[in-house]
Structure 1
């Protein structure tokens, strides 16, 4: 009875956390998909007569230093940052899954070469490597996506390789080899389906990381063009206003970046508990 009494609050807290995260993610998805097409307002419209207006009924998030509505700008910025994060995370996951699966399935010298490359890239900070990559292109969405994808496949490759090595020792793989199955068939029919849950979890966890990476690059002036609304650009352009005592141009873009990433992390944690029953049972104790 005591164990049950301890477990129930933990389960209730997890359900509340997951439900809250799901509601936030759905609300964010609806906002970025529905608000821009329905609104008749131009998020780039300049109104110098109403610059740096505090939050009000007319402008719930206030206005920026040239009179643009911050709520609309934040929605557009979240739309761009989320698009960059999703595409970059999916690209990095596909690359990392392919490389990790091949390294684990082939083994031997191929595995050693791949892991040495992974170790070498892991020793370089992601942001520094990302700055080097985007510096070779003109500012834009695709250079940022390429930069994030090329710096974030490494962790997925490690996870997938470890999962493949674990699956290779299972009896059903030995049975497939004894039955004459080719290496390609074993990888496609047996190994890849076994690593897809882990790869999917890595992709979900990578989306908020990619959004923060894009925001950092844009904040440094190396990501998206300054005129394009992204959360990093909004925070970067609000630095002068913050020093002058106007807090809202910095606060609301920051919240639009923090809250969705925490919600995605909450859903990813629930997914991780679902595919790892042992960890889930430990959390309930």
Structure 2
């Protein structure tokens, strides 16, 4: 009875978070995809007569140091940042599932070797390691994606490995092995499908982290090329503008970044509360 009331309470509190997160994320994604295109944003044009205009009806977010509409540029930057984040999340999740799944399924010295490599990689700060990677290929989009993806797969690998080790003790795995199933068949037929919810949730949680990571690299001048709109580049260009009183150049792009992070995190938390416990209860039967 107590568990039933807890599930009802989670459902009631999760519905507003789900609706808020879904609507906010939909508005942000649609704005990032269509708004710069519909507004005719051209990054190469400089409008000296409109430099650093305060927010108004014509320019709701104001203008930047180049006289460009900051609303259009912020959403253009969000589009680039989201693209980088999705690529990084997909690559990190695939690497994590492969390494974590194989490590947990095989066991023995390969498992110990893989986990020691994960520990070694985790001992180095991700931002520092990312700076080293992008410094070799400065201003390269591929280098930015690689620097984030190759330093964030370890979390997914640990989650998948732990789930695989737990599933290996289940009766249906023993039954499959007793029936003559090979280790590879057990892995791709039983273990990998069972860890998909955990891996997918990890990928979703990686999205805002990858956005912030790309923003930090671009803000330091080591990420995307300066001419390419991204949240990090916009914030890097706005450092001097703040000293002149143009607060909107920093405030509005930062709000777009924070709103995106909160929306994705809210959806991920609702997913974790609803889908993952349900999946685990099904596996326990």
Give the structure-1-normalised TM-score.
Answer: 0.93
Contact 1:44–1:68 (8 Å) recurs in 2: no
Shift of 1:5: 9.3
Measured after TM superposition, the shift of residue 276 of structure 1 is 3.5
Cα shift at 1:230: 0.2
Partner of 1:83 in structure 2? Answer: 83
- Contact 1:31-1:75 within 8 A present in 2 as well: yes
- CA gap 1:202/1:88 in 2 versus in 1, 3 angstroms: same
Aligned residue for 1:46?
46
Cα deviation digits, residues 134-169 of structure 1 (max 9, x gap): 111131211110000000000000000000000100
Show the counterpart of 1:164.
164
Partner of 1:65: 65
The aligned residue for residue 142 of structure 1 is 142
Measured against aligned partners, the alpha-carbon deviations of 1:50-75 in whole angstroms (never above 9, x if no partner) come to: 10100011111001112111011001
Trace 1:102-113 onto structure 2 (pairs within 5 A). 102-113=102-113
Segments of 5+ residues of structure 1 without an aligned counterpart are 279-285
- Deviations 1:95-126, CA, capped at 9 Å, x for gaps: 01100000000000000000000001111111
Total equivalences in the alignment: 281
Aligned equivalents of 1:157, 1:277: Cα separation in 2: 20
Superposition map of 1:82-231 within 5 A: 82-231=82-231
Deviation at 1:45, TM superposition (A): 2.3
State the alpha-carbon separation in 2 of the partners of residues 51 and 95 from structure 1.
Answer: 45
1:267 CA displacement: 0.5
- Find the aligned partners of 1:178 and 1:50 in 2 and give their Cα distance: 75
CA distance in 2, matches of 1:41, 1:172: 57
2:155 & 2:134 partners in 1: Cα distance? Answer: 21
Say what the alpha-carbon RMSD is for the aligned residues.
2.3
The Cα shift of 1:274 comes to 1.8
